[in-house]
Amino acid sequence: MQRKLKKTFKKYTNIPDTFRYAFVGIPGSLIGSKEHFYGTYEVFLRQYPDLKINVKLPTVLYMHGSSGLYTGDTYRRYIVEDVGAIFFAPDSKRIHGRPSYTSPVKEKAYIKVHKLRLAEIEYAVAKLQRLPIVDRDNIFLMGNSEGGLAAAIYKSDAFKGRIITAFSCESSYFYSRFKLGSKKKEPFLNIMGTDDQFFSTKSSLNRKYKVQGNGIDALKKYRYAKIVILTKTKHDITTNPYVRDEIVSFLRLWIEKDPRRSAS
């Protein structure tokens, strides 16, 4: 356990519920069905108590935004139906006494939430690595908005790659000391809209910060990073028709081919 998270685990004792009641998407191929499973992990376990595992699948650990699964429901379909991977999204709303905010507030209010989201990742990845259905060599970390910040700063080399949506990987009103938690060799996809109400240059919340609305400064030294800027697109980037292909192509590339194997 990361030292800085110990106090968070002690304060929020039911963090395990975020995993137990996580929103999941399970490809039908794994359960011997023509239909994919969409629901909570708790229901999945009840419906398939004696599931015989013959294959391990790539898995996306998804951290939802402050509104809950919301856009994650769209991402879940992309990942399960187009990629054939498992989608696993811890339900942060399950946490008793969970801190909340309505922007703008002082940064310390946001920090409380960030620490909690990091603890959720810490717990979830440890559990996922022990599940018989999960390919440990192909676990991706993905996050949207509030969850995107947590997924971007979480320090670990446990992931094959990361996908950050609706959050520009840079310091802002939301987190003034931004620093990526991934290694420079890790594949990284950052997707942002030019008209994002919270993290673009147009956001009134960032008047005191020199934001660029993208993660170029943080990611320019990452050889396998890709930044996608969507014009005329607000915070909900799922409204843009390019998003699906960007996410699906990124996952397929690194799951099936992994260009690093042939790179000099």
Q: Using N-to-C axis directions, what is the helix angle for 107-128 and 146-153, rounded to 10°?
A: 60
% of the chain with per-residue pLDDT over 90: 91
Q: Assess contact for 161 and 186: CB atoms under 8 A.
A: yes
pLDDT for 176 equals 96
Residue 259 tokens, joined: 């260009």
pLDDT for 262 equals 66
What are the boundaries of each domain within the chain?
3-257
Q: Assess contact for 61 and 92: CB atoms under 8 A.
A: no
Rounding to the nearest 10 degrees, give the CA dihedral for residues 110, 168, 153, 123: 70
3-257 under CATH 3.40.50.1820, yes or no: yes
Q: Which residues pair with 165 in a beta bridge?
A: 144, 191
Residues of the chain predicted below pLDDT 70: 1-3, 262-264
Distance CA(148)–CA(87), nearest Å, equals: 16
Distance CA(217)–CA(196), nearest Å, equals: 18
pTM: 0.96
pLDDT digits (tens, 9 = 90+) for 198-217: 999 999 999 999 999 999 99
Q: Assess contact for 69 and 94: CB atoms under 8 A.
A: no
pLDDT for 263 equals 56
pLDDT for 256 equals 85
pLDDT for 19 equals 98
DSSP 36: P
